Chain A
Amino acid sequence: AQKVTQAQTEISVVEKEDVTLDCVYETRDTTYYLFWYKQPPSGELVFLIRRNSFDEQNEISGRYSWNFQKSTSSFNFTITASQVVDSAVYFCALSVRNSGGYQKVTFGTGTKLQVIP
């Protein structure tokens, strides 16, 4: 069975601070994909990034960076120099191929980030 744990329920930081959102996953599959989504107060879920299990290179996109470590089954997300607009709930998700041959996605419970001006 697949599992995604986002142990941080809520985080508050002051604007311009760096913040890291943790994501730990469990799966027995050797091929899998990891995702991060952002849900701002307006409610929509916005796709941020997708990584596959064979690519452990870290990725940076502007102020966002992702650290994928298979050894610890973690896919952490860091926001550098946080801004008020980063305030949102962030979801980590794990996707595998199920026994029926199609995609099965497991979402974490989300981390609510509040950036204080």
Chain B
Amino acid sequence: DARVTQTPRHKVTEMGQEVTMRCQPILGHNTVFWYRQTMMQGLELLAYFRNRAPLDDSGMPKDRFSAEMPDATLATLKIQPSEPRDSAVYFCASGLNSFSGNTIYFGEGSWLTVV
């Protein structure tokens, strides 16, 4: 049963600390997405990769957030320094391609609390 795997599932950290979230996309998928979900903003796209290259990161606060794909099986999202307003659920998702009909499959999410 292929699925997107995210770690950590839950993270509580102090303000100012670095947070790294990791994602293993479904094997064979070449598009990876990072979404953030909050009650106020709903689902927001932070970053979008195709074949490990960033296609769109316009939704990501550049001063503290960074997203990379060191290889095809690993995507990372880093927050440095973290702030309480970053508390949210961060979802990684992957898809087979980037055409408009691409079905996006989500991981279980990383629940981040910054205190």
Contact = CB atoms under 8 A, between A and B. Distances in A.
B42 interface: yes
Given A33-B100, A102-B50, A103-B99, A44 B106 contact: yes
Given A91-B43, A110-B42, A45 B91 contact: yes
B55 A31 contact: no
Given A44-B108, A107-B42, A95 B50 contact: no
Contacts of B56: 100, 102
Contacts, number: 56
Contact of A37 (B55, B98, B99, B106): B106
Contacts of A91: 43
A97 interface: yes
A12 B95 CA distance: 33
Given A97-B100, A103-B99, A103-B100, A47 B105 contact: yes
Interface string A29-46: 001110101000011111
Interface of A: 31-33, 35, 37, 42-47, 50, 52, 91, 95-97, 100, 102-105, 107, 109-110
Interface of B: 31, 42-43, 45, 48, 50, 55-56, 89, 91, 93, 95, 98-109, 111
9 contacts: A42-B108, A45-B93, A47-B103, A47-B106, A100-B56, A102-B99, A103-B99, A103-B100, A109-B42
